[in-house]
Amino acid sequence: MTEPDIDTALKELANELPDGVLVTDPDITIAYSRDMAMLAPSEQPAAVVHARTTDDVVTVMKTAARYGVPVHPRGAGSGLAGSSNATRGSIVLSLAKMNQILEINTSDRYARVQPGVVNLDFRKELAGHGLFYPPDPSSYDWCTLGGNLSTNAGGLCCVKYGVTTDFVMGLEVVLADGEVLRTGRRTVKGVAGYDLARVFVGAEGTLGVITEATLMLRPLPEPPATLVASFEDLHAAGAAVQSMIDCGLVPSLLEIMDQTALRAVEAKHHMGLDLSTKALLLAQSDSGAERAEREMSQIEDCCRTAGATELHRTTDAEEGDMLLFARRQALPALEALKGGSLVDDVAVPRSRIAEFLAGCEQIGIDTDTVIGTCGHAGDGNMHPTICFTPGDGAEYERSKDAFGRILDLGLSMGGTVTGEHGVGSIKQEFLAKEIGDLGLRVHRQIKDALDPQGILNPGKLF
């Protein structure tokens, strides 16, 4: 392995990259040290490269490989697992300025995009063509598609449409040695060789740098009908979700918020939410007026039978957006309670959602921490959020304890330690628990094959 030589690497990059692309000013590079994960370790990088083209990325990777310098690919920094966090003597490779929508093919329903395109900007552009890209993380108004690809992000629409990888047709990837791999297809079907595109989706930048993606699109859905159901008991809310599943219902969105999350949103935004509600279910159907009416009636029946204390339905788009706003604001509102938060990301079997929420509540009591939970009830992906006061060391340690207990709780229920945020640098020991020694060995063999020097995003996943 080449001994890292960051000084020589930076001198070469200064000569080879266009003006303004390489930044070494420490007052600027410090801002690229970490993402939004407050638990994850980070260090200040030696430099930031604001890549504008695939050629810029190739130059960085060839130079980094030559001098053994670690490279951390980065999107908008919206991650919640430390997946893009820097290490000392490294280069942060920011892809945020590679933000062009290169092609929208309305006939074959695909788009070619660069990784810096913001998710919401992409969705808005597609809407003008009558098309739709479903993955919609809560941070969709500022997270980038490259970051979504790297963590295999999901979002609120997963229950019906699936996650990022379900829409990836092909990728352009710069490998650790600077070679450019183009893999995938532009056809609806294709099984030629290994599905290499999906190897890189969810790899958190440890196997290659995604510089272009070909994404499958769908026709723009109908305006959604929205239903909100309030419950005085977590288990009643869980029973309603299970009843919907048993009935074969697949709404376009099915979200849950517990009382702590509701109260946090109300404290920040003053929306008039009922603070006595123990759990709130939010459902939408985008199947068109007639079918949506039938679907929402069935969902309403499931909620009422399970013991919902209040039900409200609307087909008004503005009102639906307002209700959805409350769910999207849950995580920032929880952070605002005390100024700091640790966001967990556990997926459990849907039949055990209520049990998991109750378990999180008990963990909060046992660790003397404030835990608010929201999540995607339709697919069992929950986001317990532990709130703490920055600077309070004792409270921070209790929060870390609660964070780990929640992950262990999810695993004990046959769940997974991450449904969409990734492993990053905060869940490595828990990934090992989940996949075991053999699973880790296979991961390392793939990593060694594609990045034998270990320079791509070191310290992540395992």
Q: Give yes or no: residues 302 and 388 share one domain.
A: yes
Cα 423 to the center of its chain, rounded Å? 11
Phi/psi of residue 129, nearest 5 degrees = -105, 5
pLDDT tens for each residue of 332-385: 999 999 999 999 999 999 989 989 999 999 999 999 999 999 999 999 999 999
Q: Give yes or no: residues 336 and 400 share one domain.
A: yes
Span 168-193, average pLDDT: 95
CB 144 within 8 A of CB 135: no
Is 420 inside a domain boundary?
no
Is 435 inside a domain boundary?
no
- CATH, residue 276: 3.40.462.40
Residue 404 burial (10 A CB sphere; 0-12, 13-18, 19+): middle
Domain stop point among 169, 198, 219: 219
Q: Give yes or no: residues 391 and 322 share one domain.
A: yes
Is 442 inside a domain boundary?
no
Q: Give yes or no: residues 55 and 74 share one domain.
A: yes
pLDDT tens for each residue of 86-99: 999 999 999 999 99
Mean pLDDT of all residues belonging to the chain: 95
Domain stop point among 219, 250, 277: 219
- CATH, residue 15: 3.30.43.10
Cα 438 to the center of its chain, rounded Å? 26
- The secondary structure of residue 3, as a DSSP letter, is P
Contacts of 206 (CB under 8 A, 6+ apart): 447, 451, 456, 457, 460, 461
Q: Give yes or no: residues 139 and 259 share one domain.
A: no
Contacts of 352 (CB under 8 A, 6+ apart): 380, 413, 414, 415
Q: Give yes or no: residues 354 and 370 share one domain.
A: yes
Taking the alpha carbons of 16, 19, 23, 25 in that order, is the dihedral positive or negative? positive
pLDDT tens for each residue of 105-153: 999 999 999 999 999 999 999 999 999 999 999 899 999 999 999 999 9
The pTM is what? Answer: 0.94
CB 147 within 8 A of CB 249: no
Bridge partners of residue 314, in order along the sequence: 226
Q: Give yes or no: residues 282 and 342 share one domain.
A: yes
Number of domains within the chain: 3
CB 274 within 8 A of CB 263: no
Q: Give yes or no: residues 397 and 268 share one domain.
A: yes
Give me the percent of the chain exceeding a pLDDT of 90.
Answer: 94
How far are the Cα atoms of 168, 169, 450 from residue 196, in angstroms, in the given order? Answer: 11, 10, 12
Nearest Cα residue to 367 out of 420, 408, 418: 408
Q: Give yes or no: residues 116 and 91 share one domain.
A: no
Domain stop point among 162, 186, 219: 219
Is 445 inside a domain boundary?
no
Going by pLDDT thresholds of 50, 70 and 90, the confidence category of residue 415 is: very high
Domain span at residue 179 reads: 101-219
Q: Give yes or no: residues 51 and 120 share one domain.
A: no
pLDDT tens for each residue of 62-79: 999 999 999 999 999 999
Q: Give yes or no: residues 260 and 356 share one domain.
A: yes
Is 340 inside a domain boundary?
yes
Span 10-21, average pLDDT: 97
Q: Give yes or no: residues 24 and 40 share one domain.
A: yes
Q: Kindly tell me if the per-residue pLDDT of 208 is higher than 80.
A: yes
CB 264 within 8 A of CB 275: no
Taking the alpha carbons of 361, 135, 61, 10 in that order, is the dihedral positive or negative? negative
How far are the Cα atoms of 61, 125, 171, 262 from residue 455, in angstroms, in the given order? Answer: 9, 36, 21, 43
Q: Kindly tell me if the per-residue pLDDT of 1 is higher than 80.
A: no
